Amino acid sequence: MLQREEFIRISLEINLFFQRIMKEHLFFIETNLQPVVPAYITEAKSLKQGFEGLLAETVCYANGVISEDAIKSNEFVTPYTLRAEKANSMLTGVSLNTGITKAELGLVSNPDNDYRNWFNAVHFLNDKSLKLLIKAINFQKRLLTMALECRIVIALYHEMLEHNTEEAEHYLEILKSLQNGVLPEKTLCEELNFWNDLMGEHSQFIDGMLDPTEKNLKKTAEAFANKFEALEEECVKSAEKQILRDSIEATEGLRDYKIAATTGLLKCEIKSIIPPLLADHVLREANHYLRILRMISGT
């Protein structure tokens, strides 16, 4: 069982990371559906705003509670998030609450803070997140079915809709465990394969969304996709330490590539159909995975 403090701190860190991820998935849906389906655009917008409301609440509780390591990992916001949000908002005409991002950039850690009494408030926050998350998962699954049956057109890969739903279901599993006072139990390979699979898919998305003329960037993205696929296949037969080392090395490489992509897109130096916020989004997911890898390996 998790101690009260652990439950509060871990819940807030998980919500800070995933609530933003969820609201961005919904923003990408909202901005990539066609005008012929206004009801779905409205549904995506309202779910996005729901997560923004919860994220604003999480930020208030998180200040002075979350760990220094979590803040330093750049998994909640990166130095590029605010710029990417402004660019995407301006380019699509769709709103994003940048006030939350500014508040997140000011988050601090305070080891002397006594926050044991927040247990009920955080438990309630997890519960609200859980309920909204179930609605978002159902919505995304409905969209994917319609897209697969060619009843709607959405300018996002089907695999990306599936990928985003997997991330949402992963978040759901963590929230459910937290509400029972524990963390999900996973073998090392289950945990690594889940994230290595996502990292490989990010590489495929980037490859597929770069302009065909960006040959070098596409080649590197393809090499990353192959690397993560190989890591997944190796996990069962490799020694734990080796697979951890290889996953860290590959993810650090992909993180650097994503930083270059995000800054290149923000400077309009790369030809692609990748929204800058999507580049920053997948960068944060790599940063989150790197923190998990460091925790597992104790480095």
Binding site for Fe ion (CB under 5 A): 21, 167, 198, 285
Residue 9 vs 20, nearer CB to Fe ion: 20
Is residue 24 within 8 A of residue 55, CB to CB? The reply is no
Residue 88 vs 122, nearer CB to Fe ion: 88
Instruction: Give the Cβ contact number of residue 52 at 10 Å.
Output: 21
Residue 17 vs 115, nearer CB to Fe ion: 17
Is residue 136 within 8 A of residue 26, CB to CB? The reply is yes
Minimum distance from residue 251 beta carbon to Fe ion (Å):
13
C-alpha separations of 170 from 109, 124, 200, 205 in Å = 26, 20, 17, 20
Euclidean distance between CA atoms 281 and 275, whole angstroms: 10
Minimum distance from residue 144 beta carbon to Fe ion (Å):
15
Euclidean distance between CA atoms 243 and 239, whole angstroms: 6
Minimum distance from residue 116 beta carbon to Fe ion (Å):
33
Residue 61 vs 200, nearer CB to Fe ion: 200
Locus of tokens 């800070």: 16
Residue 218 vs 281, nearer CB to Fe ion: 281
The vertex-191 CA angle with 189 and 194, nearest 5°, equals 100
Minimum distance from residue 140 beta carbon to Fe ion (Å):
11
Minimum distance from residue 229 beta carbon to Fe ion (Å):
16
